[in-house]
Amino acid sequence: MKNVFIFLVLLLSRSVYAQLAVTSALTPTQLVNNVLLGPGVVAFNIQYTGASQALGFFNGVNSNIGLDSGVIISTGKVINAIGPNNTTSITTINNTPGNSQLTQLAGQPTRDAAILEFDFIPSADSVRFRYVFASDEYYEGVCTPYNDIFAFLMNGPGITGTVNIALVPGTATPVSISSVNGGVLGDPIYGPSTSYTYCVLTNTVFYVDNTSATGLSVQYDGFTKVFSAKSKVIPCQTYHIKLAIADGGNDNTWDSSVFLEAGSFNTQYLSVSSQPKYTGGFLDSSAIEGCGQAIITFKRYDSIPYPRHVDYILSGTASPSDYLISAPNIYFAPGRDTVNISIKPLFDNLQEGIETLSLTIVPDFIVCNGWTIPGGSVKFIDDPKIDISISKNIPPCPYDSISLTVNLSNVVSSNSYSLSWASNSGNTYYSNPISVFPSKGLIFTANVIDNCGQKASMPVTLDYDCPIIIPNVITPNGDHVNDKFIIDGIEHIGTINLYVFNRWGTLIYEMNNYDNAWSPINEADGVYFYVIETMDEQKFKGHLTIFK
């Protein structure tokens, strides 16, 4: 479900290349459960306080914000975060109150607070997420009373009181425009001073100046590099977190925002792709014996510089001789957060129906009571027999061609097959449908082979079903009109023999494999008789009047 929401949001937030994209279309519950949370954390009692336009989803892939996507919380309007940086004082006044906890951290009054909070249960002994703080208070408000601030406030078992985990790396200093900046005091007209307890000018390594050409994608004048907020917790216990931001000082202008990375609020849980990916030969979400495979993808969320081994157990109706599996365990090499396990069913020439194989990991982490242990299930099936039929489109008589169409079912991996037509006259065709010229005894055979090597064929006879038309009067006078004994449809019925007799029974003309070429120009006017024999031993008899 999470991927569905992100896909919809990306459509809603489509913007030009090299720009941040933002939308406020999702609810707070959707933003927490379907965007912010990663594996190993369950959230509930989700609440939001603030202006609706101050909370949303961002896509930062084509921006310089440092995060691909996630949740954005603002003191103004989230869509104002979209670049280019064409003003140094982007402002939306929401006329919402501040927050007492942020006021205490900022050391100044706060206004236009936006707060997203929820209870959560972690499955490990620590939680973390990644974020970026950005503001248009840079640089003018640095170390002034207008100290925009945000905090991630947590409380719960093992935590004394409520703590802020949004801290400058390696310190106990809250992140704000006055603690992470370019090292320069703000504009003199706003009363900057190093005497403020929150004023720090030495954290320049963590600051990104967005006023140069790089500011084409994000509106704010500056922002932090990507930070991680983390906390020790007790697995399977309930905690509360408050993600809050506000304008600092006695004003509500010049907006700030915090960007929270999608999926980064997590533990060292492993996630598994919701559905196996089938490649090669597959049908109805099942891998075909001998030519298909199923791939299960595992992703880790702990510290990836270190290797990690995770064992698994297998169960199901498939026996070990029915398949090959790519690895005896799940091994994450240093620097890798994703591992694919491929399972290939083997062809055994037995009709066994659908077989199943389930892979369940042996957790190296805590699984809270009632939670599901990650794993995946795949299905194998025998290479199915291709069902083939041929439909003919025959127009009304007389006709010159017939359309033939092959209809298939049980074809492995839809459209993964080759098709050819072969006729007993030596012609070969590769399209579907085909238009062919019928004649007596003509047979076309459709041949199909799927990408697992399964073959099927079906012949169809293309007799001409219209009656032949034999003339009963010809006028062989040399004017090239009705001079010859022409049988319409003769080309469709194959070889015929023609015999013509006069009124006394004398044979005056005989030709095997008649070709519509006889002109009785030397015969006297009168009534004659003919006999036509076809290659399948049919006979046609009648009289013919010659009149010049």
Q: For residues 460 and 180, give the distance between their C-alpha atoms in angstroms, rounded to a whole number.
A: 80
Contact indicator for 518, 538 with CB cutoff of 8 Å? no
- 387-461: same fold as 270-381? yes
Top-level class of domain 473-546: mainly beta
Contact indicator for 276, 342 with CB cutoff of 8 Å? no
> H or E segment at 359?
strand 355-361
CA dihedral of 297, 8, 18, 262, whole degrees rounded to 10: -50
Contact indicator for 216, 89 with CB cutoff of 8 Å? no
pLDDT at position 529 is: 96
Q: For residues 115 and 102, give the distance between their C-alpha atoms in angstroms, rounded to a whole number.
A: 10
**Side chain identity at residue 186, one-letter code:** G
Q: What is the CATH number of domain 387-461?
A: 2.60.40.10
pLDDT at position 149 is: 84
Which residue in the block uniquely carries the two structure tokens 């336009």? 53
pLDDT at position 6 is: 44
Query: Which CA distances in Å does 222 have to 14, 98, 190, 272, 469?
Result: 24, 23, 18, 37, 91
Q: What are phi and psi of 3, to 5 degrees?
A: -65, -35
Query: Which CA distances in Å does 50 have to 37, 53, 55, 92?
Result: 21, 9, 8, 13
Going from N- to C-terminal start, the domains of the chain cover: 2-261, 270-381, 387-461, 473-546
pLDDT at position 116 is: 97
Pair of tokens at residue 108: 């100044």
pLDDT at position 501 is: 96
* Confidence (pTM): 0.64
Q: What is the DSSP letter of 206?
A: G
Q: For residues 367 and 122, give the distance between their C-alpha atoms in angstroms, rounded to a whole number.
A: 9
Q: What are phi and psi of 81, to 5 degrees?
A: -75, -15
pLDDT at position 213 is: 67
Residues of the chain under the 50 pLDDT cut: 1-17
Q: What are phi and psi of 189, to 5 degrees?
A: -70, -15
pLDDT at position 349 is: 78
> H or E segment at 45?
strand 41-49
What length is written for the chain? 548
Residue 263: which of 415, 57, 525 has the closest Cα?
57
User: Which string of DSSP letters, residue by residue, matches 125-174?
Assistant: SEEEEEEEEEESSTTTTTTSS---EEEEEEESTT--S-EE--B-TTSSPB
Taking CA 502 as the corner, what is the angle to CA 499 and CA 507, rounded to the nearest 5 degrees?
A: 40
Q: For residues 277 and 342, give the distance between their C-alpha atoms in angstroms, rounded to a whole number.
A: 9
- Round to the nearest angstrom and report the end-to-end CA distance of the chain: 88
Burial class (CB in 10 A: 0-12, 13-18, 19+), 478: exposed
Burial of 66-79, coded b for 16+ CB within 10 Å and e otherwise, reads bbebbbbbbbbbbb
Domain 270-381 bears CATH identifier 3.40.50.720: no
Other CB atoms within a 10 A radius of the CB of residue 45 amount to 10
